[in-house]
Structure 1
């Protein structure tokens, strides 16, 4: 048992160190390597160019990354196809899980499960309890370790959906102005993605890539609505598909959608403002009213105690 725990701890420490290395930025090294290779491509052979590229890559990219990708791929292959496809949809909806995709999420699940399992074994090792109680605690903690990555993933999805919903009116305004200036829908998307940043812009960039690859506009917009998972985006894509099908002016459709999105954002702001008195009631009763009572009634109580003592 101790040997098994030691091996699991070593594997988990290795994966944690890998995650830390992945989080570090490598853009500066990539730019430096590209600048070094610019002057060598014309005179070097293909084998030399390939060798230089491999040697200029970091140890993480050459050795650790392929091994970890293979391990994550094997771990993901164990899951049923339905579960795997559902997890891929969730990772896609979260924006790629911090840019690491399915591989990073599978590793996160493995590390989380291993850590909770080791904590459960350590917690139950010297406890005076029955074997059944120890097994139940180990199973419970392991289940929490399995569920925690999905909880974190859904939290990322909610944050991303909120950011998309908040930025939709402004992005649609710029898209509408670009179309009214004479650009097509695809050209207006390119102009918007070049000017702005954010989760919604990332989705529009992916939409543009799919359109350039030959995917129909209807399919691309349907995938966009499915990835975002919010009702406003579904209404927007449905309006664009309908306008494209019926030949309605795109500028007029975008103007109407932009006005609707802005009105919906205004209504959400009013709704949140209406909820504020109820939300602030309990903090006021717990933290503010007792202090006010102490400040107002404190001197009177002290004076009353002194008077009764005399």
Structure 2
């Protein structure tokens, strides 16, 4: 019975995660349809648009997901968001930006997933406690709080894992991008033209952020503000130093190629120092598996024959 309850709870968690993922993937299509519906409210002003919409969808057919699942999800989202504090939603919004999923995930969907995960953890802990009568009252309270805490921490740990993985990819790609920028600027291209050339030839999370920065500049944002937004989205000290150097070079009128060359050398040096620091930490990290797994096996191999001989000598 316990196994069935645990299996059912795990199945509910997996279904919730898949459902939220599918609903967020359909968010853009739903936004377009809501926009078309708002345009249809004004037939005199948007006569051409309404006729095109009616021609494209004469019978008003919609899929099962848009008729059933999305309204159900919005009802769940509307009721559960009342339990999500505003500070939690702000933290989720910031972490979604750090993860690079701001155009894919919505804050409401992630907040709803957080509330559902917390409720699922509490429900599983409650079912486990209610079907096990050997716990005291204090132990039951501790188990319920533990299940609630685990359910609350799961979405944040998943987001933190995605953020750390993305930041590692950005740090790995940053020196190469700076070298190519330096070479392109020294060849005679401007900073924006060099960055645009690089974004058409490379892929990666840092390239995606550079494309967003160039898009902001084309939309009328100043380069300084676009670079500052790039640094905030990456949330890395190396990227912050690079953007600050470029802003200062543009403001003071110094050579952009020299600035980029110095930043490339600095970034490469910081990368080498971080690699050396990780290499120095390796002996300490390997000490625990050495004690737990390797030393006992060595003791058995080396000392067991002597121990057996000693036991035989004690009992002839």
| TM-score bracket for this pair, using the shorter chain length | 0.7 to 0.9
1:257 CA drift (Å): 0.4
| Equivalence for 1:184 | 190
Matches within 5 A, 1:211-226: 211-226=217-232
1:235 CA drift (Å): 0.8
| Residue 289, structure 1, aligned to residue 295, structure 2 | yes
Q: 1:290 to 1:19 in 2, by over 3 A?
A: same
C-alpha distance in structure 2 between counterparts of 1:205 and 1:113, whole Å: 37
| Equivalence for 2:45 | none
1:255 CA drift (Å): 1.1
Q: 1:126 to 1:298 in 2, by over 3 A?
A: closer
C-alpha distance in structure 2 between counterparts of 1:308 and 1:131, whole Å: 52
| Residue 261, structure 1, aligned to residue 267, structure 2 | yes
Structure 2 residue corresponding to 1:196, chosen from 197, 202, 205: 202
SS of structure 1 residue aligned to 2:57: helix
Q: 1:47 to 1:285 in 2, by over 3 A?
A: closer
SS of structure 1 residue aligned to 2:165: helix
Q: 1:66 to 1:184 in 2, by over 3 A?
A: farther
Would you say how many aligned residue pairs link Structure 1 and Structure 2? 284
1:307 CA drift (Å): 6.2
Q: 1:104 to 1:291 in 2, by over 3 A?
A: same
1:176 CA drift (Å): 1.7
SS of structure 2 residue aligned to 1:215: coil
Q: Per-residue CA shift, 1:99-144, capped at 9, x if unaligned?
A: 3242442232133123112212212323446778656643442243
RMSD between superposed Cα atoms in Å: 3.7
| Residue 117, structure 1, aligned to residue 122, structure 2 | yes
SS of structure 2 residue aligned to 1:99: coil
1:273 CA drift (Å): 1.0
C-alpha distance in structure 1 between counterparts of 2:265 and 2:301, whole Å: 51
C-alpha distance in structure 2 between counterparts of 1:233 and 1:284, whole Å: 38
| Equivalence for 1:126 | 131
- Given that residues 76 and 84 in structure 1 are in contact (C-alpha distance below 8 angstroms), is that contact kept between their aligned partners in structure 2? no
- Given that residues 179 and 188 in structure 1 are in contact (C-alpha distance below 8 angstroms), is that contact kept between their aligned partners in structure 2? yes
* TM-score, length-scaled by structure 1: 0.75
1:269 CA drift (Å): 0.7
Matches within 5 A, 1:46-65: 46-47=52-53, 50-51=56-57, 59-60=64-65, 64-65=69-70
| Residue 107, structure 1, aligned to residue 108, structure 2 | no
Q: Which moved more, 1:9-18 or 1:233-242?
A: 9-18
Structure 1 residue corresponding to 2:152, chosen from 131, 140, 146: 146
1:92 CA drift (Å): 0.7
C-alpha distance in structure 2 between counterparts of 1:71 and 1:204, whole Å: 37
Q: 1:215 to 1:24 in 2, by over 3 A?
A: closer
| Residue 240, structure 1, aligned to residue 246, structure 2 | yes
- Given that residues 96 and 102 in structure 1 are in contact (C-alpha distance below 8 angstroms), is that contact kept between their aligned partners in structure 2? no
- Given that residues 97 and 104 in structure 1 are in contact (C-alpha distance below 8 angstroms), is that contact kept between their aligned partners in structure 2? no
* TM-score, length-scaled by structure 2: 0.74
Q: Which moved more, 1:135-144 or 1:188-197?
A: 135-144
| Equivalence for 2:214 | 208
Mark the runs of 5 or more structure 1 residues left unpaired by the alignment.
1-8, 26-44
Q: Which moved more, 1:61-70 or 1:171-180?
A: 61-70
| Equivalence for 1:15 | 16
Structure 1 residue corresponding to 2:276, chosen from 245, 270, 274: 270
Q: 1:74 to 1:246 in 2, by over 3 A?
A: farther
Mark the runs of 5 or more structure 2 residues left unpaired by the alignment.
1-8, 27-50
